[in-house]
């Protein structure tokens, strides 16, 4: 109970009943809500400031709403007219539409609210801000809840999973784990395997994962206890690795690759004579070939900060590799480049060209060295000497301090000519361009 409740009006705190045990909830505190427990938050007249004129009415008209904490922080900074989407939790019963923070009717009115983590569409481990108010959110009492389930392996997310990759490139993976880091009694570690998707299907045993693992050994990650962010209590495995040519196995086919994750409980036992022996037992696993992550169906990118390159129901727990080798790919791209428009530096110029989108002179200068002359690497207006020196080098001595090097484009003589190239929009004159030149 707040110390100054005698001199206040309105709702000052609330009460929390967890499995019939009642506790006072101070403003701003955070409470984990476990899946197997019934959590009821309520107010009575003892929660109302003593200078309130009608405590009974205040209790009966109490309004409850909840939202992801990081969403709320963004709403606080936003202008009211810029809030176009309702990000509040799925409560109902509001009788009066509330404009502030885009709340609308997504609030409950009355003296109590029951949170059952199974019945709400929020993600376990992410902090929610609960607003308790009489008129508008952000003006009264608030506290935080974090829904907590039993420990489990959540999503696997390969960045740009729908974009076909090639041998020699690298891929980035994130796997989310829930509640293993919140277990204060046990220590855990994770073992990560990489398999061809077709080979991984149906596998459940560690020996099968080891036999089909494309890495020589599984990647091992220790899961730290009680290490968590302020608004996200989950833990994550993040890794980047190259796509090895050996995985092609001389097979000229496109392949899908996926991962398997095992969780082990770890402990130590006294040795027979001295020292300690490390022990471990597998307590969970997830084979993403059989249980894939669909990043736009099962998970909300706005909440988890995930991004996809398309709007399809794509699978993010696997990545696709082309049958084309990287060197073949690069040769093909180089051939396509050769068929495109060539610019200064692509070919050596020996005579003046007419290009209404082209500059006739390019100069490089070390602005920090006043005694050093500028180097003209290209000048098609010269009558004596070489006009194209783009294959020559302009040496720069580096050090601990920043160097100021300028590149000047000069002698654009077709200011009033309609653009016929690629620099400007069709029909726009060079004199109307927004880039500046010397």
Residue 63: band (very low, low, confident or very high) from pLDDT cuts 50, 70, 90: very high
Radius of gyration of the chain (CA): 32
Q: For 76, phi and psi rounded to 5 degrees?
A: -60, -35
Mean pLDDT calculated for residue range 42-60:
92
pLDDT digits (tens, 9 = 90+) for 373-418: 888 888 877 767 777 787 777 777 766 677 788 888 887 665 555 4
Residue 70: band (very low, low, confident or very high) from pLDDT cuts 50, 70, 90: confident
Given the structure tokens 């220790």, which residue do they identify? 222
Q: Cα–Cα distance between 101 and 137 in angstroms, integer?
A: 8
Tokens representing residue 57 in the block: 């009415």
Look at residue 366 and tell me whether its pLDDT is greater than 80. yes
Mean pLDDT calculated for residue range 356-368:
77
Mean pLDDT calculated for residue range 9-36:
89
Given the structure tokens 């829904």, which residue do they identify? 147
| Whole-number pLDDT of residue 376 | 87
pLDDT digits (tens, 9 = 90+) for 24-37: 998 999 999 888 78
Look at residue 217 and tell me whether its pLDDT is greater than 60. yes
| Whole-number pLDDT of residue 433 | 44
Look at residue 62 and tell me whether its pLDDT is greater than 80. yes
Q: Helix or strand or coil: residue 62?
A: coil
DSSP classification of residue 181: G
Of 258, 217, 223, nearest to 237 (Cα)?
A: 223
Q: Cα–Cα distance between 154 and 421 in angstroms, integer?
A: 51
Q: Which segments of 183-254 are extended strands (E)?
A: 187-196, 219-223, 235-242
Of 47, 43, 79, nearest to 63 (Cα)?
A: 43
Range of 17-26, 133-142, 173-182 with top mean pLDDT: 173-182
| Whole-number pLDDT of residue 434 | 45
For 141, residues 6+ apart whose C-beta sits below 8 A from its C-beta are 11, 12, 13, 14, 27, 131, 132, 133
Q: What is the pTM of this model?
A: 0.70
Tokens representing residue 7 in the block: 């001199």
Are the C-beta atoms of residues 93 and 114 closer than 8 Å to each other? no
pLDDT digits (tens, 9 = 90+) for 91-134: 888 889 999 999 999 999 999 998 875 545 457 899 999 999 98
Tokens representing residue 379 in the block: 């000048």
Could you report how far apart the first and last alpha carbons of the chain are, in Å? 70
Tokens representing residue 335 in the block: 């051939």
- Please tell me which residue, 337 or 425, carries the higher pLDDT value: 337
For 13, residues 6+ apart whose C-beta sits below 8 A from its C-beta are 1, 2, 5, 24, 25, 26, 27, 47, 141
- Please tell me which residue, 11 or 421, carries the higher pLDDT value: 11
* Residues 74, 307, 297, 189, Cα dihedral to 10°: -90
Residue 286: band (very low, low, confident or very high) from pLDDT cuts 50, 70, 90: very high
Percentage of the chain exceeding pLDDT 70: 79
DSSP classification of residue 55: H
- Please tell me which residue, 308 or 280, carries the higher pLDDT value: 280
pLDDT digits (tens, 9 = 90+) for 199-212: 999 999 999 999 99
For 205, residues 6+ apart whose C-beta sits below 8 A from its C-beta are none
Percentage of the chain exceeding pLDDT 90: 42
Look at residue 297 and tell me whether its pLDDT is greater than 50. no
Mean pLDDT calculated for residue range 334-348:
57
Mean pLDDT calculated for residue range 259-277:
88
């Amino acid at each position: 109970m707040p110390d100054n409740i005698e001199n206040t009006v309105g709702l000052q705190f609330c009460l929390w009943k967890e499995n019939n045990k009642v506790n006072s909830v101070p403003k701003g505190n955070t409470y984990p809500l476990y899946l197997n427990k019934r959590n009821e938050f309520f107010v009575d007249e003892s929660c109302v400031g003593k200078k309130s004129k009608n405590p009974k009415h205040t209790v009966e008209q109490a309004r409850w709403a909840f939202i992801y904490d990081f969403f709320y922080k963004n709403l606080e900074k936003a202008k009211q007219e810029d809030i176009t989407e309702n990000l509040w939790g799925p409560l109902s019963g509001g009788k009066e539409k509330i404009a502030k923070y885009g709340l609308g009717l997504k609030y409950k009115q009355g003296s109590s609210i029951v949170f059952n983590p199974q019945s709400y569409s929020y993600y376990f481990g992410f902090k929610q801000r609960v607003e308790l108010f009489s008129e508008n959110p952000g003006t009264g009492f608030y506290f935080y809840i974090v829904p907590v389930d039993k420990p489990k392996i959540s999503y696997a997310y390969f960045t740009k999973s729908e974009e076909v990759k090639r041998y020699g490139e690298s891929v980035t993976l994130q796997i989310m784990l829930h509640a293993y880091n919140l277990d204060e009694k046990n220590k855990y570690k994770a073992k990560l395997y990489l398999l061809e998707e077709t080979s991984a299907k149906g596998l459940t045993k560690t020996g099968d994962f080891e036999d089909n693992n494309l890495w020589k050994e599984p990647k091992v990650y220790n899961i730290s206890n009680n290490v968590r962010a302020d608004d996200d209590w989950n833990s994550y495995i993040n890794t980047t690795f190259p796509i090895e040519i050996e995985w092609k196995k001389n097979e000229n086919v496109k392949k899908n690759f996926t991962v398997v994750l095992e969780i082990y409980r770890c402990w130590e036992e006294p040795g027979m004579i001295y020292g300690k022996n490390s022990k471990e037992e597998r307590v969970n696993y997830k084979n993403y070939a059989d249980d894939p992550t669909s990043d736009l169906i099962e998970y909300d990118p706005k909440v988890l900060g995930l991004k996809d390159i398309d709007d399809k129901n794509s699978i993010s727990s696997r990545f696709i590799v082309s049958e084309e080798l990287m060197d073949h790919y690069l040769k093909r791209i180089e051939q396509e480049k050769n068929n495109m428009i060539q610019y200064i530096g692509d070919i050596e110029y020996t005579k003046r060209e007419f290009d209404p989108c082209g500059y006739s002179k390019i100069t490089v200068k070390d602005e920090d060295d006043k005694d050093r002359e500028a180097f003209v690497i290209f000048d098609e207006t010269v009558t004596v000497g070489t006009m194209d020196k783009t294959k020559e080098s302009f040496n720069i001595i580096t050090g601990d301090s920043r160097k100021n090097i300028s590149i000047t484009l000069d002698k654009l003589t077709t200011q009033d000519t309609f653009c016929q190239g690629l620099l400007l929009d069709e029909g726009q004159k060079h004199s109307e361009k927004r880039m500046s030149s010397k």
